[in-house]
Amino acid sequence: MARIDDEMLVCRCEEVTVGEIREAIAQGAFDVVGVKRRTRAGMGLCQGRTCEKMVQQLISQELGVGPHETGSTSVRPPVRPISYGALAEGVF
């Protein structure tokens, strides 16, 4: 059943809505990484810095688990955006 806030954006970088995240959870996602793999939430420019907490809240609400049981985004370098120039020089 569609809910009143289903259209609301959660991940603005990748334009993922509350409804899409609820659907991912219904399909079996139980942590932030599971939601990310299904919806791309947290894969944009900010790498989940803005939406991670909101995704955690949704998982927490939908599955009735504590915030510490919802996981967090995986971290790998570069942790801040770097220039194409740096990439072109093959530093990573």
**Which residues contact other proteins by CB under 8 A?**
5, 8-10, 12, 18, 49-51, 53-54, 57, 67-68, 72, 75-80, 82-83, 85-86, 89, 91-92
Of 38, 55, 41, the C-alpha closest to 12 is: 41
Cβ at position 50, least distance to other proteins in Å = 6
Cβ at position 55, least distance to other proteins in Å = 10
**Residue type at position 3:** R
Nearer to other proteins, 6 or 23 (CB): 6
Residue 31's alpha-carbon distances to 21, 47, 68, 86, in angstroms, are: 11, 16, 10, 33
